[in-house]
Chain A
Amino acid sequence: MAKARYSIFSLLRNARDYHENWPRAWRSPDPKPAYDVVIIGGGGHGLATAYYLAKEHGIANVAVIEKGWLGGGNTGRNTTIVRSNYLWDESAGIYEKSLKLWEGLTRELNFNLMFSQRGVLSLAHNQHDLRELHRRVNAIRLNGIDSDFLSPAEIKAFCPILNTSPNARYPIVGASLQRRGGVARHDAVAWGYARAADERGVDIIQNCEVTGIRREGNRVVGVETTRGYIRAGKIASAVAGHTSVVAAMVGLRLPIESHPLQALVSEPLKPVLDTVIMSNTVHVYVSQSDRGELVMGAGIEAHTSYAQRSSLHTIEDMMAAIIELIPIVSRLRLMRQWAGIVDVCPDASPILSTTPVEGFYVNGGWGTGGFKSTPGAGWCYAHTIARDRPHPLNEPFALERFTTGHLIDEHGAAGVAH
């Protein structure tokens, strides 16, 4: 099933016949009656898991079952920020593993992920922010992850459009910068992993919703879907916002609640912003896409919801924040806004774990930080499924932490923005 490689030569070859004869990037097979592993959810996490199961563990009899289209959930709805500057050792471990994988992923998958390490700038606006920022920069460096402190003058030189006036309502008094952080093209992540997993024999089945999970005793044996029953040795959930819904199919209650998270883009403008700006205090994060749009996001809605809709008052708050930071955008018009459903754990850290139900695994609770973790989470999840026990990197993110009390409290550490 080896695929023709994408390259400058394949581009030229296909230009000759007006790009009408590109081969399909992956098959659309009918589901087989049985698989060793069925992964529920065809977003970045599910597809990455399938890819690493085949590549690292030699398990290729795998199906990825997606109720809509690939990457149509949170993979296609986030603001594409990638970074690994987390406070706690456990988080640093898994997010740095992820960032290291990102750094070689375009080449490995032979798919242009447009991964751009343009730096992620996190702003401090008051003395408390500043002390917290220093603590975080030092903790991150102790974990061997790059992190620099920038003074207001250095911030102005690094990102001139920021309003660094001391007379601003929320003056910028310092910032941390992770230069290896940046953005990637979200769709390409799903497509790149899909193509590479398909090449290794993984079946990707779209427009097929899992409606139930069958059990024999305490062991899962298969999934009911809108395209019939499929037997499965192991079942792994990778469904972002719907983790509680899938877990309820095996009678599990999880420490997870689902909330809408909004994002929006402005009309395109000439290049003005060549980094990612984050501010937890005025609460917005923004980068500029290759099309010139400013891509902005903020926090989750307080109430739980499964409606992928945005609401005006959240947009107003976000706009107030962005104009505070970058006054020159005050007359920009907004083009599109949307929302995704993120599932949040009480400690704002994910669950990447085996469960009390044999053969059933959970990857969820990533809250607002799932995109950046796609490669690392997929890599760890594949290990967990193949060996039936977690890798040391995701051992701290087990379900048991809510019973033992060993929570990984990233609320204060990551602030609210991801």
Chain B
Amino acid sequence: MFLIECPWCGPRDETEFAYGGEAHIERPRNPDKLSDDEWAAYLFLRTNPKGAHRERWMHAQGCRRWFNVERDTVSHVIRAVYKMGETPPTDAEDKA
């Protein structure tokens, strides 16, 4: 059980949110040209890391808006919260 800082509503209990799985998986731009392997990769393959994980959450019992979270899957510490379409704020740190 943990607190999630909704970008619009502030810190709220985890139970108010719905989980949306791994973030930054882009829908194929040319679906008619995709091979079966590429479809499988888009639909089913996931990173499932032990450690930092960028994922989507939705504030189901609040503003009902989607956003991204970077959470550690072992400690559950949330390192960053950022809106859809934004670059992860931890990108620069990770490259440094």
Which residues in A have some Cβ–Cβ distance to B below 8 Å? 242, 244-245, 248, 253-258, 302-307, 311-313, 343, 346, 402-405
Write out the residue numbers on chain A whose beta carbons fall within 8 Å of the beta carbon of B21: 257, 304
- Structural contact, B76 and A402, CB atoms closer than 8 A: no
- Structural contact, B75 and A402, CB atoms closer than 8 A: no
Write out the residue numbers on chain A whose beta carbons fall within 8 Å of the beta carbon of B15: 313
- Structural contact, A256 and B46, CB atoms closer than 8 A: yes
Write out the residue numbers on chain B whose beta carbons fall within 8 Å of the beta carbon of A403: 36-37, 39-40
Interface size for B (C-beta < 8 A) is 27
A404 to chain B, nearest CB (A): 7
- B18 contacts partner chain A, Cβ-Cβ < 8 Å: yes
A and B contact pairs by CB, cutoff 8 A, 28 listed:
A245-B48, A245-B49, A248-B49, A253-B41, A253-B45, A253-B46, A254-B45, A255-B45, A257-B21, A257-B22, A257-B46, A257-B48, A258-B48, A302-B18, A303-B55, A304-B53, A304-B55, A305-B74, A307-B73, A307-B75, A307-B76, A313-B14, A313-B15, A343-B48, A402-B43, A402-B44, A403-B37, A403-B40
With A313-B1, A403-B37 known to touch, is A302 a contact of B19 (CB < 8 Å)? Answer: yes
B78 to chain A, nearest CB (A): 11
Write out the residue numbers on chain A whose beta carbons fall within 8 Å of the beta carbon of B49: 244-245, 248
State the total of A-B contacts with C-beta under 8 angstroms: 69
Write out the residue numbers on chain A whose beta carbons fall within 8 Å of the beta carbon of B53: 304
With A257-B48, A346-B44 known to touch, is A305 a contact of B1 (CB < 8 Å)? Answer: no
Residue of A nearest to B37 (CB): A403
Q: Which 3 pairs show the lowest CB-CB distances between chains A and B?
A: A255-B44, A244-B48, A311-B1
Complex formed: what's the CA distance from A313 to B17 in Å? 13
Bits for B19-55, please: 1 = Cβ < 8 Å to A, else 0: 1011000000000000011011101111111100101
A357 to chain B, nearest CB (A): 15
B37-96 contacts to A (CB < 8 Å): 37, 39-41, 43-50, 53, 55, 71, 73-76
Complex formed: what's the CA distance from A111 to B19 in Å? 44
Write out the residue numbers on chain B whose beta carbons fall within 8 Å of the beta carbon of A248: 49
A348 to chain B, nearest CB (A): 13
Write out the residue numbers on chain B whose beta carbons fall within 8 Å of the beta carbon of A402: 40, 43-45
Complex formed: what's the CA distance from A312 to B75 in Å? 17
Complex formed: what's the CA distance from A298 to B7 in Å? 32
With A303-B19, A304-B55, A403-B37 known to touch, is A255 a contact of B46 (CB < 8 Å)? Answer: yes
Residue of A nearest to B57 (CB): A303
Residue of B nearest to A347 (CB): B44
Contact check: which of A254, A305, A313, A405 meets B73 at CB < 8 Å?
A: A305
B61 to chain A, nearest CB (A): 13
Complex formed: what's the CA distance from A305 to B15 in Å? 16
Contact check: which of A245, A256, A313 meets B50 at CB < 8 Å?
A: A245
Most chain A CB within a 10 A radius of its CB, from B36, B46, B71, B74: B46
